[in-house]
DNA sequence: GGGGCTGCTATACACGGGTATAGTCTGCTT
DNA sequence: AAGCAGACTATACCCGTGTATAGCAGCCCC
């Protein structure tokens, strides 16, 4: 998107980082090998170590780059209220697979927390015009909303199969947004059903 | 939950399988070693191979066991409408980490698809009492709902951090359910906002 | 009671892959 | 011109881990 610069123009260090993000995104951290990454970047094995020191450090550099990129893109998307807000994944483009790995393989906690922070303020504001009092704190709700928003990214393969589209394609993105807009504008539970469910929980029916 | 049988009672084969599910769930398939699994199960390295043949085959046996367990539990939970339906994860107990790995590391597609199937019928029924016509097909919506329902399982660590609870504990489960019930009974988008968002999508504002 | 099966252990093999080291080339500074 | 630093390569090391083989004990069955 937006005319990616020719790989030849990038420094070797950047090429290695990008290759690492692709490989880790596709295969996961363990299965991604430094040798494959080096080959993908068109450099020798030793150069990877020269620039990053270790595989762990390479991963951390990728994380840092991801954070920086996401922050930049989310600032950019803040001006487009109905575009990116609902589907943060849409903005990430090629970084999506890496993000999914980062989230599910344990790291990337700060990124998730940042999303929760953002949503928390958003929710607190929405609560002011809400008729009934919320049953749970805004932060917990924001956490679940963040998790749900990321579910399409994290479970991308399954969602693509279920919806029959390629989520990296423009059509796929539009389809996904339509689904999300529809779901978000129609409650899955009526207020009565919700009240009943809460009662069941109050009775301690967890077992 | 429900008085787990004493590990000593289980056959070695079952002990190995259970240990594998724990280890893979905790560390992922790659980082889980056969040696550690064998030690956890209190058997020798060779016995694992004797019973399962290869690491891949061991994983497949775990998948099969997971499927069987989930089917059994979901049948059981079908009679408890407000209990498990909203939060399938609640039912899985110790199998949750393995399920998360299975979903994010590529396998377990049939399981996800089964959830989508189940939800699709559920949604088709709900559509009949819906005032406005749905914007997208039931299957796509069911897919996203399934993904969202699994997000707490897949992103468990992050959700726990955000909500400040242990999701394996009864209190954590109740808290999670309360959040979900609240979110599902209150649309995040008003119908006007949704209409506006759809318009924006119609105009092709994907970029 | 010997043959053969199953459950199980111990040990060895092979290799992938992260790490480490030595060395070359280029360009810049003094 | 000397020399130094940084980018880069080639090669070797070595440990972890999946896989394979050989062997042993108990048990059933004719």
Q: Does A158 touch chain B (CB under 8 A)?
A: yes
Place of tokens 């998790």: A147
- Of the candidates A21, A7, A6, the one whose C-alpha atom is nearest the C-alpha of residue A95 is A21
Burial class (CB in 10 A: 0-12, 13-18, 19+), B104: buried
pLDDT single digits (tens) A160-182 = 999 999 999 989 999 999 999 99
Report the distance separating Cα B71 and Cα B89, nearest Å.
13
Length of chain B: 207
Q: Residue A152 pLDDT more than 70?
A: yes
Q: Which residues contact B91 (CB under 8 A, 6 or more apart)?
A: B70, B73, B74, B76, B77, B84
Contact B185 A189 (CB under 8 A): yes
B122-146 average pLDDT score: 95
* CA B44 to C1' C11, whole Å: 12
Residue of A178, A190, A191, A207 best to disrupt the B interface, most CBs of B under 10 A: A178
Mutate to test the interface with B, among A98, A167, A179, A204 (most CBs of B within 10 A): A179
Six-digit token pair at B115?
């959830």
How far does Cα A49 stand from its chain's mean position? 28
Put simply, the chain A residues between 53 and 92 with a CB less than 8 A from any chain B CB are 80, 82-83, 86, 90
Q: Taking CB atoms and an 8 Å limit, are A104 and B100 in contact across chains?
A: yes
Residues of B in contact with A157 (CB under 8 A): 106, 109
Determine the distance between B47 (CA) and D25 (C1') in angstroms.
Answer: 15
Q: For A180-193, how does the pLDDT look when each residue is reduced to its tens digit (9 = 90+)?
A: 999 999 999 999 99
A124 pLDDT above the threshold of 80? yes
- pLDDT value for B10: 78
The answer to whether the CB atoms of A83 and B205 lie below 8 A apart is yes
B164 phi/psi in degrees, rounded to 5: 70, 30
Does residue A207 register a pLDDT over 70? no
Task: For residue range B156-185, list pLDDT tens digits in order.
Answer: 999 999 999 999 998 999 999 999 999 999
Least confident of A13-27, A139-153, B3-17, B182-196: B3-17
Cβ–Cβ below 8 Å for A162 and B196: no
Does the CB of A157 have a partner CB in chain B at under 8 Å?
yes
**CB contacts, 8 Å: B207 with chain A:** 83
pLDDT score of B104: 96
Q: Which nucleotide is nearest to B51 (CA to C1')?
A: C7
Which residue places its CA closest to the C1' of nucleotide D9? A44
Residues of chain B found within 8 Å of residue A189, distances taken between Cβ atoms = 86, 181, 184-185
Nearest-CA residue to the C1' of D17? B33
Percent of chain A topping pLDDT 90: 75
Predicted confidence at residue A71, as pLDDT, reads 86
Would you list the DSSP string of chain B? ---PPPGGGS-HHHHHHHHHHHHHHHH-TTT--HHHHHHHHTS-HHHHHHHHSSHHHHHHHHHHHHHHHHHHHHHHHTT-TTTTSS-THHHHGGGHHHHHHHHHTS--HHHHHHHHHHHHHHHHHHHHT-SSPPSS-HHHHHHHHHHHHHHHHHTHHHHHHHHTS-TTSHHHHHHHHHHHHHHHTS-SS-HHHHHHHHHHHHTTTT-
pLDDT, average across residues B51-59 = 97
Q: Pull the structure tokens for residue A141.
A: 């709700």
Reading the block at residue A118, the tokens are 């953002």
Residues of A in contact with B189 (CB under 8 A): 86, 181, 184-185
Give the pLDDT band (50/70/90) at residue B89. Answer: low
pLDDT of residue A82: 54
Instruction: Determine the Cα–Cα distance for residues B65 and B68; give it in Å rounded to an integer.
Output: 5
- The closest alpha carbon to A102, from A111, A94, A93, belongs to A111
Of the pLDDT bands very low, low, confident and very high (cuts 50, 70, 90), residue B203 is confident
Q: How far is the alpha carbon of A112 from chain B, nearest alpha carbon, in Å?
A: 7
C-alpha distances in angstroms, B195 versus A142, B8, B16, B126? 24, 60, 54, 21
pLDDT at position A110 over 90: yes
- Estimate the crossing angle of helix B96-104 against helix B12-27, to 10 degrees: 60
**Cβ atoms of A143 and B172 closer than 8 Å:** no
pTM value? 0.89
The CA–C1' separation of A57 and D6, in angstroms, is 20
Residues in B closer than 8 angstroms to A147, CB to CB, are 151-152, 155, 158-159, 162
CB contact under 8 A, A163 and B185: no
DSSP B101-143: HHHHTS--HHHHHHHHHHHHHHHHHHHHT-SSPPSS-HHHHHH
Select the residue of A30, A154, A178 nearest B136 (Cβ to Cβ). A178
Confidence of residue A88 (pLDDT cuts 50, 70, 90): low
Does residue B93 come out as left (phi exceeding 0), alpha (psi in the -120 to 50 range) or beta? left
Give the mean pLDDT of A33-50: 97
Predicted confidence at residue B1, as pLDDT, reads 46
Q: Can you list the alpha helix ranges (DSSP code H) found in chain A? A: 12-27, 34-41, 45-52, 55-77, 89-92, 96-104, 109-128, 138-154, 156-163, 170-184, 191-202
Q: Are A13 and A50 in contact (CB under 8 A)?
A: no
Nearest nt to the CA of B55 via C1' is: D18
- Whether A69 and A94 have beta carbons less than 8 Å apart is answered as no
């Amino acid at each position: 998107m937006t005319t990616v610069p020719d790989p030849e123009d990038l420094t070797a260090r950047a090429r290695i980082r990008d290759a690492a993000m692709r490989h880790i995104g596709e295969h996961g951290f363990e299965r991604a090998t430094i040798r494959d990454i080096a080959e993908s970047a068109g450099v020798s094995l030793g150069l990877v170590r020269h620039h990053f020191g270790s595989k762990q450090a390479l991963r951390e550099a990728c994380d840092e780059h991801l954070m920086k990129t996401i922050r930049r893109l989310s600032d950019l998307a803040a001006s487009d209220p109905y575009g990116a807000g609902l589907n943060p994944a849409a903005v990430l483009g090629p970084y999506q697979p890496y993000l999914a790995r980062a989230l599910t393989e344990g790291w990337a906690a700060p990124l998730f927390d940042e999303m929760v922070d953002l949503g928390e303020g958003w929710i607190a504001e929405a609560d002011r015009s809400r008729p009934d009092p919320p049953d749970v704190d805004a932060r917990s709700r924001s956490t679940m909303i963040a998790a749900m928003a990321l579910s399409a990214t994290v479970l991308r393969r399954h969602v693509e199969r279920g919806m029959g589209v390629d989520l990296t394609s423009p059509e796929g993105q539009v389809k996904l947004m339509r689904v999300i807009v529809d779901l978000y504008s129609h409650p899955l539970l009526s207020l009565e059903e919700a009240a009943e469910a809460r009662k069941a929980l109050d009775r301690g029916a967890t077992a």
